[in-house]
Chains A and B, each alone.
Chain A
Amino acid sequence: MSERVYELLFIADPNLGEPEVDTLTTLIQGYIEKENGKIQKIEKWGKKRLAYPIGRHRDGSYVLIVAEGGNALVKEVERRMRVTDGVVKFITVRVDEDLRKLEASKAVRAAEETKRRARTGGTAAPAPPVEEGY
């Protein structure tokens, strides 16, 4: 059984400098690794304007961490983040199922494409798009 994949996006205090955000990120990375989670990706978005003020903040530095792990991981990491200074807000989203569905539909599309090719006798003219909308 493969593990679940979660996206953990959090807003760090905008008053923290670049290195401090890095330390914070490593700290959270540490939380994840302690719970046997595997980090897949870390992305720093930098400072952005918040769509609405949170507490006294109008800006925030966003950091995205994609990690693999179980539900216990999320529980523990979220608990820890709540008590960590410098984290303004965070969201955890499970993505593995959606990604799997995405793969599946991609495969279906590819199969349809080849079928269509075969039917039209190799001419690369793409058939009119399947009308699903209304």
Chain B
Amino acid sequence: MSSNPGGPRSGGSFSGGGRGKPAAGARGGKEQGKRHFFRRRKVCKFCAEKIDYIDYKDIKTIGPFAPERGKILPRRMFGTCAEHQRKVTLAIKRARSIALLPFAGE
């Protein structure tokens, strides 16, 4: 019982109701030796901007997801969440069928 790994705030890990400070990073004495620093986390653009309906007519928003050759980029490129990636895909396909976006590149 002598070695308590819980660190300075042992025992009190209620998720404090409301004063939500997300305790980012600085969680002191844990055993994770040398960890490389945070890579910038990609956040889904549509989640961040709270866009729920992705319109196939709005090429400005969708366009970047299918650049140059007109291929739809994989999720990992933009960090889009699964739900929104699905919607983007559908929108691009619709836009293609009405010649707003190309099927194949230049």
Contacts and interface: CB of A to CB of B under 8 A. Distances in A.
B81 A52 contact: no
Contact of A11 (B42, B52, B96, B98): B98
A133 B79 contact: yes
A93 interface: yes
Classify chain A's interface size: 20 to 34
A111 interface: no
5 contacts: A9-B98, A51-B70, A91-B97, A128-B22, A129-B47
Classify chain B's interface size: 20 to 34
Which one of B47, B81, B99 has the greatest number of beta carbons of chain A within 10 Å?
Answer: B99
Interface of B: 17-18, 20, 22, 42-44, 47-48, 50, 52-53, 56-57, 70, 79-81, 94, 96-104
Contact of A105 (B52, B70, B81, B96): B52
Contacts of B53: 98-99, 101-102
Contacts of B79: 133-134
B48 A52 contact: no
B81 A133 contact: yes
Contact of A60 (B57, B81, B99): B99
Contact of B47 (A89, A127, A133): A133
